[in-house]
Amino acid sequence: MDTTLDDPLVGQTLDGRYRIDARIAAGGMATVYRAVDTRLDRVLALKVMHPALAADTAFVDRFIREAKSVARLAHPNVVAVFDQGTDGPYTYLAMEYVSGCTLRDVLRERGALQPRAALDILEPVLAALGAAHRAGFVHRDMKPENVLIGDDGRVKVADFGLVRSVDSVTHTTGSVLGTVSYLAPEQIENGVADTRVDVYACGVVLYEMLTGSKPHTGGTAAQVLYQHLHEDVPPPSAAVPGLPAALDGLVAQAAARNPELRPHDAAALLGVTLDARARLSDAELDAVPPQARAEERSAAEDRTSVIPRPVAAQPPLHHTSRLATPPIPPPSGPSGPSAGQPRSRRGLFLVVAGVLLALGLGTGVWYINSGQFTKVPNLLGKTEAQAKSELSAAGLGVKRVDRKFSDAFDRGTVMNTDPQGGKRIRGNGAVVLTISRGPEVVVVPDVKGRPLEEAKAELTKSGLAPGLVTQAFSQDVAQGSVIGTNPGGGQKRAPDTAVALVVSKGRPVQVPNVAGRPVDQARTALQDLGLKVETAAEEVNSPSPAGTVANQSVGAGAQAAAGDTVTLTVSKGPRQLPVPNVTGQDVDAARKTLEAAGFKVKVERPFLSFSNTVEAQSVPGGQNAPEGGTIILRTKGL
């Protein structure tokens, strides 16, 4: 069915800029359209909040929070946000358009995926979420609908509509936002949402990719919620016999009901995932799953919604949680190639470890080879980069990177290691680094009057994140320097809090009206005001004489900043149009004929003449005259 039928926005232009061509998808909070940015001439996706929700400030704030959050995540596996705005009843986000399909589309069409394909999708998803977690955000609504697969094979995570700052996550009461099938037990039971709820959802998504079905299903949302709380996610090999134990263990770790048993964030899960992949042979990775499509299910299971949490408290998670299968065991035996495996396992591990170190992510990869031991260097007070370099030089790796608050260690420096400096560790072992996040409370520095790049550097140095940058005119602050911040200087905030900056466009320049003036004169007048001037490539016909300005890109009376560009379009003069022959006609009829042809009309009557018949016209019929020019009609005399 054509989803664009009867949609009032299709064919409309929002904010005078975004032309909506077609509807892509509709959800519980917003509708996504394919649109064209007419200013930059590029296709993008426009996410428009349902007008009924626009009156709810909480939903609007969440919508704007998504724009600010994703704008900070410059990551190749995150759908980029370009703009945010409001046009009448419509609040929207302008986002990157990914031509392709969602993971949900793939699962509906193909059912279970080969392990290699499932991991090829999971790993970039974890890289995207890892970047979000490291920036201090939790997605909170990971599901196949929010995983986009482009025509070129790129995988991107979309819809950070429920994103929350890690530091602002609190316990909620009464209800929880999310999608039933992917909610972690602690979200349902306590309303808790930290980075580990995304890890749990990724475990459920991996199970679904490997089996073609969800681990928990039921006739109602309440039945599914109950299973999340009281039943472990089963091993995928129970549904698809022959799947390797490493994949069962990976699902069990990610989807453990007890959050303490999961990897602490997506970056840590990525390390575990790469470790699991390295243990699988090509035959195991390329095993063909049973040809079965994903099961039919209620659409409500896949929709983001407000879900009431159970009123009666359930038994604590630590009394009921257990792993469906043991965690992924460490590699055993020699580190060289195993029988029947064409690739060098050691070489693959080294490549994986190198990539993870370059990204600053932790990994659970290690080797047991010659039995030699190495002393862990003393890394306290070193920067993260210095610590990794020294560990690499000692032949050691990084197992994972934790980050904690500290008043004693500068932000970004090592405050602890496990094992500690001086301790002996098996050769080629891995060390846990704990990096200081600085004090738990940061004072926002006063950067008013500082150039933008200096202000950003000062905020970063203070442990805050430069946020959304907007511009405004200022009589006092130099162009390119900061007028103010939100929150303002002197206020206290948690580390990594985004600080919005307002940057000066300088004093406003009143743009004069140069239409009809010779181009050289118009250019001089604008340049004298500090404006840049460009001339349009094509000239146009207009009532203005040839060689004068037909129109200007910034209208007369508008305000511009010094250095802004005004484009002038040069007139070719009016068009030459054929003049109708109206001699002998009634004056009123002749006037109508000439005006319809694009001319003005003036009637001249001889003295004491009462005739209403045209005796002559100033431009004979059949000849050309300038469009908008005046044709004089003369009536008969006495």
Q: Is the pLDDT reported for residue 167 higher than 60?
A: no
* pLDDT at residue 638, as a whole number: 62
Query: CATH: 3.60.20.30, 3.30.10.20, 3.30.160.270, 1.10.1500.10. Which one for 508-570?
Result: 3.30.10.20
Q: Is the pLDDT reported for residue 60 higher than 90?
A: no
Is domain 442-504 annotated with CATH 3.30.10.20?
yes
Q: Is the pLDDT reported for residue 29 higher than 80?
A: no
Strand arrangement, sheet containing 498-504:
465-472, 498-504, 482-486
Q: Is the pLDDT reported for residue 289 higher than 90?
A: no
Q: Who has greater pLDDT, 318 or 399?
A: 399
* pLDDT at residue 494, as a whole number: 81
* pLDDT at residue 587, as a whole number: 93
CA dist 300 and 217 (Å) reads 12
Query: By percentage, how much of the chain surpasses pLDDT 90?
Result: 50
The 10s digit of each residue's pLDDT in 509-518 is: 999 999 999 9
pLDDT, average across residues 240-256: 95
CA dist 190 and 177 (Å) reads 12
Q: How far is CA 99 from CA 102, 128, 138, in A?
A: 10, 19, 26
Q: Who has greater pLDDT, 487 or 364?
A: 487
CA dist 124 and 119 (Å) reads 9
* pLDDT at residue 129, as a whole number: 94
Q: How far is CA 326 from CA 235, 254, 269, 315, 329, in A?
A: 10, 12, 16, 23, 8
* pLDDT at residue 427, as a whole number: 65
| Count of other CB atoms within 10 angstroms of residue 328 | 21
pLDDT band per the 50, 70, 90 thresholds, residue 309: low
Please indicate whether the domains covering 100-320 and 442-504 agree at the CATH topology level. Answer: no
CA dist 75 and 79 (Å) reads 8
CATH number of 576-635: 3.30.10.20
* pLDDT at residue 141, as a whole number: 87
* pLDDT at residue 211, as a whole number: 95
* pLDDT at residue 326, as a whole number: 33
CA dist 609 and 599 (Å) reads 25
CA dist 257 and 225 (Å) reads 12
pLDDT, average across residues 206-231: 89
Catalytic residues: 141
The DSSP code for 479 is T
* pLDDT at residue 68, as a whole number: 74
pLDDT, average across residues 425-436: 85
| Token pair recorded at residue 260 | 């303490």
* pLDDT at residue 497, as a whole number: 87
* pLDDT at residue 375, as a whole number: 85
The 10s digit of each residue's pLDDT in 576-613 is: 899 999 999 999 999 999 999 999 999 998 877 778 89
Q: Domain 100-320 - what CATH class? A: mainly alpha
Instruction: State the pTM of this model.
Output: 0.48
Q: Kindly list the domain boundaries of the chain, sorted by start residue.
A: 1-97, 100-320, 345-434, 442-504, 508-570, 576-635
The chain-wide mean pLDDT, for the chain, equals 81
pLDDT, average across residues 239-265: 95
Helices (H) and strands (E) in the chain, counts: 16, 33
CA dist 286 and 341 (Å) reads 13
- How far is C-alpha 509 from the chain's CA centre? 34
Query: CATH: 3.20.20.140, 3.40.50.970, 3.40.50.300, 3.30.10.20. Which one for 345-434?
Result: 3.30.10.20
* pLDDT at residue 304, as a whole number: 52
CATH topology of domain 1-97: Phosphorylase Kinase; domain 1 (3.30.200)
Grouping H, G, I as helix, E, B as strand and the rest as coil, residue 553 is coil
The 10s digit of each residue's pLDDT in 337-368 is: 333 333 333 333 333 333 333 333 332 222 12
